[in-house]
Amino acid sequence: MGLEDDPFSYRVTKDGRVLVSRGGRLVVTVGGTRAERLVSLLGEDEDQDQELLARATGNYRRGNERRGR
């Protein structure tokens, strides 16, 4: 099951943390400087957002990264 079939979703809290979910379950909470940087990069392109969120979860190296870029 890939990112297209089961995409990540995210929510930014009032205190600036990013809550990353997939399949309705919270996967990771990103805070601090990492969250600020992530928020600044999100929202321009859905495919890029999915890649950024996958990287934020730490599961990026498990076959869901893009090849040949």
Average pLDDT value over all residues in the chain: 86
Both tokens of 11, joined, read 């929510």
pLDDT of 45 over the 70 cut: yes
Give the confidence band of 63 by pLDDT, cuts at 50, 70, 90: low
Angle subtended by helix axes 46-57 and 32-41, to nearest 10: 160
Question: How many angstroms from the chain centroid is the CA of residue 57?
Answer: 7
| Rounded mean pLDDT, 36-47 | 95
Identify the residue whose tokens are 């870029």. 69
Q: State the pTM of this model.
A: 0.79
Within 8 A by CB and 6+ apart from 25, the residues are none
d(CA 2, CA 7) in angstroms, rounded, equals: 8
**DSSP assignment, residue 3?**
T
